[in-house]
Amino acid sequence: MTFSFRDKQLIPIWRKLQHGERLSLEDGLVLFKTNDIIALGKMANFVQQQKSGYAVYFVLNQKIEHTNVCVLSCKFCDFAKKKGEPDAYEMTTENILAHITPEIREVHITGGMPPDWKWERYLDIVRKIHEKFPEADVKAYTAVEIDFFHKKFKLSIEEVLKQLQSAGLRTMPGGGAEIFTERVRKLLFPQKIGAKGYLEVHKTAHKLGIPTNCTMLYGHIETLEERLIHMIKLREAQDETGGFLSFIPLAFQPGDTGISVGDGSASGGKSHRQFTSAIDDLKTIAVSRLMLDNISHIKAYWVMLTEEVASVALNFGADDIDGTVGQERIAHDAGAVSPMKLAKDQIIKIIKDAGKIPVERDAFYNPLNVYSENVIGKIPYLNSVPFYHNREKSAAGGFKILPVAPRRMGMLSKQGQLDAGLFSLMDYFEQEESLELLPWCIATRDQVKSVMLFSKEGWAGLNGKKIGITDETATSVQLLSVLLENKYRVQVIPERLHPGVNDYSMFDAVLLIGDEALKHNKIGLNGFELVFDLAKEWYDWQKLPFVFAVWACRKALSGERREELKEMISTSLEKSEVNLGIIGYSHGKKIGLTKNETKEYLEGFNYRLGEQERKAMMQFRKLLEQKEIKI
C-alpha cells in the first residue's frame, strides 16, 4: 500500500510498520505531534486491516454499576459518593438481575468500593447472573476492585480471582489503569493502585485463564510521553502473558472534578477545557493501534468519544465500538454527552457508514452474527496468507474479508452469513449440501508444524488423561480423535480452552493450531517435553497428505460472483507462490519466524486439490464414520 506524506518524518515509521518492526517511544512522539492526521489515520487503518480485515465488532451488553458508594476519593471521579450522601445508592442482586434481558451477551460489572459489603455479596452477584443468564459472559470488577477485595477480605489476588471464576466470571474489564506513572498517580489518585498493582492483577488473571481488557485514561494532566510509557508497559505485559483482549483509550470527562487539563498539573480550579478534542481522540486511537502491535483489538468507546468521533475512529485503527452499554453512569456523571444507550440497529448503521462489516461478538471476540453481504471468511493464520496477500485491499468484485478462526467460520457459514471461505474440512463435510467445493485447499505433504500436540506423556500414557483443546479448531480436533482412537487405541478427557490465556499446566497434553502452535513448535511449551505433529502422525500411518481446509462457496452464489471469486483466489495464489518468503515475512516475524523459516513453512503446503488430496479426504471421512467417540 502506498500513499503520500505531508510530514516526511512519518516515512521511516511507515517503513518499520510494513516490515513488522516494533515502534519505539520516540516513534510514538512523532506520531502524536504530527499534523499529517490523514497519513496517520491511513497507517493505523492499514495495520488494523491486517488484524481484523473489514470487521468492526460490537456486543449486546449491559453495564451494571452496583453502587457508587466508595472508600476512595479520586480527584478525577464525579461518580463516587460517601455512604449516607443524598445521591448514594446500592443495588441488591435482585435489582441487578432485573436490568438484564435474555438477549444480552455480556454483563459488564464495575462500581464503587463500599466499606461494609461482605465478600459473599460480590460472589453472589456473579453467581446469580451466571445461573439465570448462562449465555451471557460475566465481565466483572476492575483491577482496583480486585486489589480492594484482596486487602479487605485478606485473600490473595489469586484466591479472589479463583473464587470469582468458580462463581461464573469469564473475563475482566480494563478500568482503573488511568496513567502508569507515579507523578500522575500521586496527584490524581494516590489511594489507588499504580502500574505494578494493576499489572499484577491482570497477569494473575491471565495465568488462571481469565482474559482481560486494558485501558488508558487520557486528556487530563498527563504528558504525551506518559501516554506512550503507559502503552509500552501494556505491550510488555502482553508479550509476557498474551491475555489482553482489547485496549480501550478512555477520553477524560472533566465534569466538576476541578482538574486543570493540558498544563501538566492538578489544581483546585475549574477545568480550562471540558473535553478532549476530536483530533486528540483520533490521534490517540491511531497511535494506540500502531504502538500496541500485540493486542488484537482497539476499542472506540463511543460513550466517551460520542457517536460521531467513534465512527471516524473506525478508519483510524479502531475495530471495536463496544456495544449497547445500557445504564452506564460513571462517564455520564462526569459530563459525557453521548446517549445513555445506543440501540443495536444504530450501532450497525454507524459501522456500515464507515465502510466496515458489523460483527456481533461475544466477550472473547468470537463472531456470533455478521450484518453484511459479500463477505469472505479468512483463516487468520500464516498458512492462509498466499490466498489473501494480493487481494486484501482491492478485494475483487466487492468482496470483503473477515478474519475468523476455523471453528467460528463454520458456525457463521451454517447461519448463511458468509458467501465463501477457506473452510475447515469438517465444516465442509457437514455443509456439503449448501457449499460448492472449489479447487484450492490447505494440505500438507508429510508434516505441518502448526497442528501440534504438546504432551507430558507418550501416546499410550495419555489414556484417561485430560487434554486441552484450542477453541479455534474444528478439523484438527477430529484428526486427533481419529489418531487417539484408531491408531493408538487411547481414550482421553477433552476440554476446550482459550489459546494464549489458559494455565496449560492443568492439562496432560494441549492441542494448539495455527500461529500459536507454530510459535510454540519453535520455542517449546513450558512443562510439555513431547511434541507431536498431527500431520506427520497421519502421514506415517496412512501415507497420504492431510487436508485441513478447503475453499468453498455457497451454492446459491450467482455464477458471475462465483467466477469473480475464483479469479480472485487464483490470481492472488499465483502471485504469492513466486514470493512465499516475502509475502509471509511480516506475519511470520510477528510469531518469531525468520524469513527463511517462513518460506520453508509455506512451501510445505499444497494449495491445490489434487488426486492425492481428494483420496485423503475420502479416507479421513471413512475413519470418522467408523469412530465411536467424537471429541
User: Tens digit of pLDDT for each residue in 312-341?
Assistant: 999 999 999 987 755 444 443 434 444 445
Unique residue bearing C-alpha cell 463435510: 429
- Domain presence at residue 212: yes
Give residue-wise pLDDT tens across range 143-174. Answer: 999 999 999 999 999 999 999 999 999 999 99
pLDDT-derived band at 505, boundaries 50, 70, 90: confident
Instruction: Tell me: pLDDT of 465 over 70.
Output: yes
Type and span of the H or E element at 321: strand 320-323
- Domain presence at residue 529: no
pTM equals 0.88
Instruction: Tell me: pLDDT of 280 over 70.
Output: yes
- Domain presence at residue 333: yes
Instruction: Tell me: pLDDT of 268 over 70.
Output: no
The 8-class DSSP code of residue 577 comes to H
- Domain presence at residue 617: no
Predicted local confidence at residue 345, as pLDDT: 87
pLDDT-derived band at 267, boundaries 50, 70, 90: very low
- The CA distance from 200 to 216, in Å, is 16
Predicted local confidence at residue 189, as pLDDT: 82
Instruction: Tell me: pLDDT of 555 over 80.
Output: yes
Torsion of CA 386, 387, 388, 389, to 10 degrees: 20
Predicted local confidence at residue 264, as pLDDT: 41
Predicted local confidence at residue 191, as pLDDT: 78
Predicted local confidence at residue 367, as pLDDT: 94
The CATH code of the domain that includes 20 is 3.20.20.70
- The CA distance from 441 to 606, in Å, is 7
- The CA distance from 258 to 377, in Å, is 50
Give residue-wise pLDDT tens across range 79-94. Answer: 566 776 787 888 999 9
- Domain presence at residue 421: no
Query: Which residues, 6+ apart, have CB-to-CB distance to 216 below 8 Å?
Result: 177, 178, 179, 227, 230, 231, 234, 247, 248, 249, 250, 288
Mean pLDDT check: name the lowest of 117-126, 229-238, 501-510: 501-510
Say if CB 188 and CB 252 are below 8 A apart: no
- Domain presence at residue 542: no
Predicted local confidence at residue 270, as pLDDT: 34
- The CA distance from 459 to 532, in Å, is 9
Predicted local confidence at residue 330, as pLDDT: 40
- Domain presence at residue 592: no
Mean of per-residue pLDDT scores for the chain: 89
Give residue-wise pLDDT tens across range 43-58. Answer: 999 999 989 999 999 9
Give residue-wise pLDDT tens across range 389-412. Answer: 876 544 445 788 999 999 999 999
- Residue 239, domain extent: 10-368
Instruction: Tell me: pLDDT of 265 over 70.
Output: no
Give residue-wise pLDDT tens across range 340-394. Answer: 456 788 899 999 999 999 999 998 899 999 999 999 999 999 999 999 887 654 4
Predicted local confidence at residue 276, as pLDDT: 80
The CB density around residue 23, as the number of other CB atoms within 10 Å, is 21
Mean pLDDT value across residues 12-35: 95
Say if CB 599 and CB 581 are below 8 A apart: yes
- Domain presence at residue 401: no
Query: Which residues, 6+ apart, have CB-to-CB distance to 65 below 8 Å?
Result: 79, 109, 110, 111, 112, 327, 328, 329, 330
User: From the CA atom positions of the chain, what is the Rg in Å?
Assistant: 25
% of the chain at pLDDT higher than 70: 89
How many domains are there within the chain?
A: 1
Predicted local confidence at residue 75, as pLDDT: 55
% of the chain at pLDDT higher than 90: 72
Predicted local confidence at residue 473, as pLDDT: 95
- The CA distance from 459 to 457, in Å, is 6
Instruction: Tell me: pLDDT of 586 over 60.
Output: yes
